[in-house]
Structures are given as structure tokens and as C-alpha cells.
Amino acid sequence: MEEKFSNIWHAWHNYLVAWTRDRAPKLIVILVLAFIFVRLLGLLTRKLVALSERTSHGPLHPHQVRTVTGVIRSVGVFLIVFFTGMSVLKDAFQINIEPLLASAGIAGLAIGFGAQTLVKDVINGFFILVEDQFQVGDTIRAAGVSGTVEEITMRRTTLRDADGTLHMVPNGAIQIVSNTTRDWSQVTLHVAADYSENSDRVVGLLQEIATEFYNNPAFKDDVVAEPQVPGIERVRGNEVDYLMLVKVRPGKQYNVARELRRRIKECFEKNKIKAGAPAQVYIGQLPGGDKG
């Protein structure tokens, strides 16, 4: 029995000596190279993020760069670890990895069928970021909800609406995006005046308001182009709607619309312009009339 254990010990000793002499250096080289590749990948992604933050112009927004580089780093680290593990098993321990690769392929296929929704979310998220469809701070309508974009990841987009409700929208559910704050927004005002008012006078007053507002230094930076007053938009009974169009910078349309409404109200009151009133329809007894 002692001779048997002695033979086993000598066999293991000889194997360890041979492995240390022949295989250990390969293991060390593989691990060192994997460490270097991971560090280089991290350094490259950090440099890209820093460069995007220093430059104000570029094809991608800094937030997009951070998201994309994060995904690249995660995928890169996974691939490095995977191939490092395969190389260690094959070169350092002389293990046949072909059955492992076949098993990994079958497992990956099964996971792929089970994670189709996740894959769709990630792919849509990638194209949303690369195509710059919207950014953090934009106001959009997508997947039946609307709100301000607070966060964009590869899997989902977070929106907060005017009521403060937070919506988590999977990127795979976003088919059509309506971005209301890209490049410029437009204020469309329908100003109602009484049918008896002179149309040229009303249009002239509205044009004066628009010009005065456009030349106001307090709002000069909010307006992209000079406001327009095309004229009468529609006539309904005793009410005439006049149209005013103002192109403003993204997100400024609400303050501009409120200020214009205030100025229009003051101007109408000053110039004795009667506001429009919707037509009244009576069914049955007329006001002050007899029942019969």
C-alpha cells in the first residue's frame, strides 16, 4: 500500500514539475495578456468619454458616448474573459474544449430564444443612441406616453410627464418618436375676436404685439425667427380666430405662449377689442320667450 501511494506521489510530483516547466509560463503569459487587454480597453473607453466631454461638437452627445462605450467595455471584457478561459483550458491544462464550445452554442441558442425581448430592447436602444433620435432633457412622445427624457440606457428610456409621473419605456416598444424639443419649437396661438371687429385692425394689433415682443431684449434669446400673423384661421358663428406663429428655442414655448397671451389680453382691453364668444344654441324654450 505504501509503495502504491509512493508511486502515485512520484507520478503527481513529476507531472507538477513538468507542468510548471512547460505549461505554467503559458498560463502566466495568457493571464498577463488578458490583464493588459482589459486595462487597454478601459483606458480607451475613458479617453473617448473624456474627449466627447471636452468637445462641444461631434456626431454623438457625451451621454450617448458614455452609454455606447459602457456597452463596448462590457462586451469586450466578456470576450476577453471567455477567450482567456478557453486558452487556459486548452494550452495550460490540455483540456479538449470542443465539447464545451458545442455546449455553449446550444446554451446560447436557448438563451437567445428566451431573451428575444431583451435583445430587441438593446438593439433599438443602440440605434436610438447612434442615430441621436433624442437626448436627456428632450420632451418626446413615444409608446403612448409623453414626457421629458431623464435617462437613456440600452434597454429602456425613462420619461417624466407634466404630472410628475415617471414612465419606464422599454426601447423595444418605441416604434415612432415625436421629439418636440429638437432644434426649435413653435408656438401656435389662436386668438379669438368678436365677428363685428374689423379684421385688418385686429391683425394689425396682433402684428404690433408680435414685433414688440420680438424686439424685447428679455425674450430676444428665446425667439428663433420673427413672429408671423398670417391672418384669419377660421370663422365660427360670432367668433373669428386669428393665427399667430412664433418659432422659439426648445423648451421655451410655454413661457413665450403665456407672455404673448398676457400681452394680447392687455392690448385688446386697451383698444376695446371684444373677445370672441362661442355661438349659443338653445333647444326648446328661447330665453325670455313663452313656453307656448
User: Phi and psi of 240, rounded to 5°?
Assistant: -120, 125
Structural domain ending residue among the three candidates 179, 213, 234: 179
Q: Is residue 217 part of a domain?
A: yes
Asked if residue 101 and residue 13 are part of one domain, the reply reads yes
pLDDT of residue 265: 94
Query: Is the model's pLDDT at 251 over the cut of 60?
Result: yes
Closest CA to 107 of 117, 99, 95: 99
pLDDT in tens, 185-236: 889 999 999 999 999 999 999 999 999 999 999 998 899 999 999 999 999 8
Residue 155 near residue 121, CB atoms below 8 Å: yes
pLDDT of residue 131: 83
Q: Please tell me which of 183-187, 221-225, 242-246, 248-252 the model is most confident about, judged by mean pLDDT.
A: 242-246
Number of domains the chain contains: 3
Asked if residue 109 and residue 10 are part of one domain, the reply reads yes
Asked if residue 91 and residue 195 are part of one domain, the reply reads no
pLDDT in tens, 84-140: 888 888 777 777 767 766 666 666 665 666 567 888 888 898 888 878 888 888 889
What CATH number does residue 195 fall under? 3.30.70.100
Which of these ranges, 207-211, 253-257, 286-290, has the smallest mean pLDDT? 286-290
Residue 254 near residue 174, CB atoms below 8 Å: no
Ordered strands of the 228-236 beta sheet:
185-194, 239-248, 228-236
Tell me, what amino acid is at 131? E
Asked if residue 262 and residue 236 are part of one domain, the reply reads yes
pLDDT of residue 205: 96
SS (H, E, C) the chain: CHHHHHHHHHHHHHHHHHHHHHCHHHHHHHHHHHHHHHHHHHHHHHHHHHHHHHCCCCCCCHHHHHHHHHHHHHHHHHHHHHHHHHHHHHHHCCCCCHHHHHHHHHHHHHHHHHCHHHHHHHHHHHHHHHCCCCCCCCEEEECCEEEEEEEECCCEEEEECCCCCEEEEEHHHCCCEEECCCCCEEEEEEEEEECCCCHHHHHHHHHHHHHHHHCCCCCHHHECCCCEEEEEEEEECCEEEEEEEEEECCCCHHHHHHHHHHHHHHHHHHCCCCECCCCCCCCCCCCCCCCC
Q: Structural domain of residue 104, as residue ranges?
A: 2-114
Asked if residue 191 and residue 167 are part of one domain, the reply reads no
Q: Please tell me which of 54-58, 67-71, 87-91, 183-187 the model is most confident about, judged by mean pLDDT.
A: 183-187
Asked if residue 199 and residue 216 are part of one domain, the reply reads yes
Query: Is the model's pLDDT at 22 over the cut of 90?
Result: no
pLDDT of residue 165: 95
What CATH number does residue 171 fall under? 2.30.30.60
Asked if residue 189 and residue 165 are part of one domain, the reply reads no
Average pLDDT of the chain is 82
Greater confidence (106 vs 279) lies with: 106
Greater confidence (54 vs 273) lies with: 273
Which of these ranges, 9-13, 35-39, 262-266, has the smallest mean pLDDT? 9-13
Q: Calculate what percentage of the chain has a pLDDT beyond 90.
A: 39
